[in-house]
Structure formats: C-alpha cells, structure tokens
Amino acid sequence: MVTLQGSNRRSFLRRGAADGGFASPAVAGLAARAARAEDGLRARQAPGNGGYGPPRELTRTDEASGFSQTLRLPEGFDFAVFSVAGAAMGDGGAVPPAHGGLACFATGRRGEWRLVRGHGVRGVPGPAAGKAKHRYDALASGGTTTLAVSWRDGVFALDGSRQSLSGTVASRSGGATPWGSWLACEETVTGTGAGWEAPHGYVFEVAADADEESEPLPLKDMGRFVHGGAAVDPRTGAVYLTEDQASAGFYRFLPNVPGRPAEGGQLQMLKFADEWNRDTRTGRRAGRAAYVEWVDVDEPDPSGAEGDPFAVFDQGWARGAAVFGRLQDCFYADGAVYASSVSGGDEGEGQLWEFRPRGLRGGTLKLVFESPDAALLPFPAGLAVSPAQGLVLCEGVREAPALRGLTREGEVLDLAAHDGAAEWCGAAFSPDGKVLFANLRGRTRGDRAEPGRTVAIWGPWEQGVL
C-alpha cells in the first residue's frame, strides 16, 4: 500500500516557517526573455540546447491501451506514455478524458510516487461514466484520478490507478498543498438551472494518500466562481486562488484551521492600497512593486452565482478590489505567490504577477513579466520549476505544441515535442527531480486519435541547465 509520509498537516505546521518552497530565481528567465523580445530579438536558443544536445525521435507504446506516442527528446532521454483516456483502471472504471493539472507526491519509499490528476470534462448533463462510489453530481463525469507510479533503474511502471474524485464539471486545474492533497478547482458556475443535479463552481480537496475515493465535499467558503489555479503559502496555510474570466479577481482564503480548509475560513480579494478598482490588464510597468491589501467577500457562495458568474467578483469590486485578465496558473516560490494572466498585457499576450505577503494584512504586488508579442514570445499555458531552478514551459500553441526549457538568462531549449494537436499541461517533477511528468490534454469528450494521456520523461538532467 502506498501512503504519504513526511507531509501531513502536523508536520506542515511545524516546518512552515522554515520551508521556502522552490526558489524564485527561475522566474527571472521570463523577464530576461521578455527584455530580448522588447529589443526586437527573437528568443535565443540556448547553446547546445542547454547542454542536452539536439532532439531525436522516439516512439513508445502504452501496453494497457495500445496507444503509441512519438516524442522528440534530447539524446539520452527516454519516456513512457501511460494512463490513456479510455483505458481500464485498477478500480474497474475507465480513465476519463481531458487530462489537466497534475501534482506528484512522495510516498516515503524511494522511486515510488503518487500522481493526482485533474480532468476537465464538461459536456452536457447525462449519465456519468465510470464506477464511482461517491459522486458529487450523478450527471457529471469530471473529477480526479490518482495514480501509483514507480521508476527504478530506468524502468517506469504504473502500479495502480483509480478514480479519486467524481461528479465535478471542468475540474481540470487546481494545486497541490504542503500537507499532501490536491485542490481540484471547477472552471465553471453551471448548476441545476442547466440541468445538473448539483451546483458547480467550487474547490474540492483530494488526499493523495487515500486508498479510497474521496467524499466530494465542496469547499464553499473558497467561493463559487470560474476557478483557475490554487497555491498554498506553507508558512501560514493561506490558499491563493485565481479566476479564469476576462475580468478576474485574485483571491485569498484564510482558513479557520491552517491545513484544514474543510473547516471553513474567510475569502478575500486583492485591492491596491492607494487606488480603488485598479485595472491591471494594460498599462502596467514590469518591476515596480505596489502595496496591496485584502478586502473580505461576505458571501462566497451567493445564491445567484449560476446566473451571474461575477457574483463573487462584484462583492470585492464594490470594496475597491483590482481586476486582472484571465488568471490561470498559480504557484508558491520562495516566499511569494505567482499568478499567470493569459490575456493580460498591452498586447493581450500574457503577464506573470508576483504577490509577496507582509504579515496577513497585505504585501506587495509586482508585474514580473509581460509578453510583448506572441510571435516573439508566446505565453506558456503552464509552468513548472525544475530542480536546478529553470522553468519548464507548456506552450499553449495550436501548432506543434511543445515542452520547452527556459534558463535564468532567458534562453530557450527544446525538451519535448510531438506532431499532434494535444496541448501540453500539468507539468511536474518528481520529488527527487529525476522524472518529469506532464499531460497531453486530448479531446474533452474522448477522441481515439487524440486521447488525453500522461507521459513520464527521464534522462541526464544534470548535464544541462534544468
């Protein structure tokens, strides 16, 4: 049995003040790359492909489904494709489609980990697929799956898989917690008015070490809105939440009991200290920090949310909160929380924001990156920090989607690419830094030619910049 060790709530609270998470120098690569683009220079390829050499083509087949995947990887690297949409899982159900966010958790045993993966299934209300024991909405097929995996001496294995959350809609994204769980975020506010059995637009917690399917408890104090990602400050237990709308808020949830979000708390929205309703989407200058504070959201689960997706946002707006362009990814690094806006900036090509807390009342907000041109600098659909403090970018382009590395100097390298249309997402390294996991999203309703699937990539990371 795989269990999560060394990452429970009690140890999280003891070590929180000393645990800085990943170091933020990795983010400097985005700023350096943006500066080159502003000077009219295309992103420079890292010499020698960052120390990894030119890519070459490899094909691997998932035995469970028969699906073959071809990737272009640097010399010396290998990969496995597994958990393909439609394949049988260990609990008797089938792997859901629309692979999304992902986190990798330690188990206390060398080379063995657990993955929790989101599935952004939308569709229309209807009999849900799968064999769930506990389903939040009997007409919804979204949720999460938990995979037990191992990698020893260059041999990868999928040791088990099961549904771990069922009955959600569009829960493709989320975020890992320091106490060993995944916060699954619904990217919709649909509900009974649209024919579903339950309201949607919530966050659900999934314990990575659980061997049974989680009871689907909506964390209503975290708000009912079009959720993006989630990140936790390990020092305080505060949960930061993004909103994936054209006019979006940046939220903070202060739990009544740190490490136990199900026991409720206070939802808040970010406000600039010196200005009401600051519009951050355009006209911002990178590198300049501004003082910000938080305003309470009195009704995080308003009754009219299904008919008005801005029902939560408007409460913060009425108290002077700021507005952002579509916020998606959110992660914690070295005492700060980073949130990506995929539509912000003067060119509408993306921004990366840094919030650095100062106590619980406020802190500073800084624009650390803005994409000046999609042709020069396409903003990534996802980010992962490498063990050597580089960045792995999931490029959200329709043609030739790729995983790319980014050095602190803003140079890019080719890490993994394929010729299909499936978008890369959910990149995450194993706790020992030896294996990179990533999802290829695939079609929402399942497409045999382009199904959702997960890949594990390993090789001589130490010979290059990642």
Lowest mean pLDDT among 220-234, 381-395, 424-438: 381-395
Token pair recorded at residue 464: 């290059």
Q: Given this model, what pLDDT does residue 3 score?
A: 35
Q: Any idea what DSSP says for residue 371?
A: -
Q: What is the pLDDT of residues 324-344, one digit of tens each?
A: 999 998 999 889 999 999 899
d(CA 348, CA 353): 15
pLDDT band at 421 (very low <50, low <70, confident <90, very high): confident
Residue with token string 């840094």: 354
Q: What is the pLDDT of residues 369-420, one digit of tens each?
A: 887 777 655 667 788 888 888 888 887 666 678 898 887 777 888 999 998 8
Token pair recorded at residue 48: 């020698």
Residue with token string 């494709």: 81
> What percentage of the chain's residues is helix, strand, coil (to nearest 5)?
10, 40, 50
8 A C-beta contact, residue 162 and residue 212: no
- Amino acid identity, position 73: L
pLDDT band at 34 (very low <50, low <70, confident <90, very high): low
The pLDDT > 90 percentage for the chain reads 69
| Mean pLDDT score of the chain | 88
Q: What is the pLDDT of residues 312-324, one digit of tens each?
A: 999 999 999 999 9
Q: Given this model, what pLDDT does residue 448 score?
A: 64
| CA nearest to 276, candidates 252, 253, 300, 292 | 292
Residue with token string 């299909």: 420
Say yes or no to pLDDT of 446 above 80. Answer: no
Token pair recorded at residue 135: 């389903």
Pairing of the two strands 173-176 and 181-185: antiparallel
Domain ranges of the chain: 9-463
Output the CA–CA distances (angstroms, integers) from residue 380 to 59, 224, 294, in the order listed. Answer: 25, 26, 28
Q: What is the mean pLDDT of residues 182-195?
A: 98
Q: What is the mean pLDDT of residues 420-448?
A: 87
Q: What is the CATH number of domain 9-463?
A: 2.120.10.30
Lowest mean pLDDT among 246-255, 273-282, 286-295, 345-354: 345-354
d(CA 9, CA 160): 25
Token pair recorded at residue 419: 């010729």
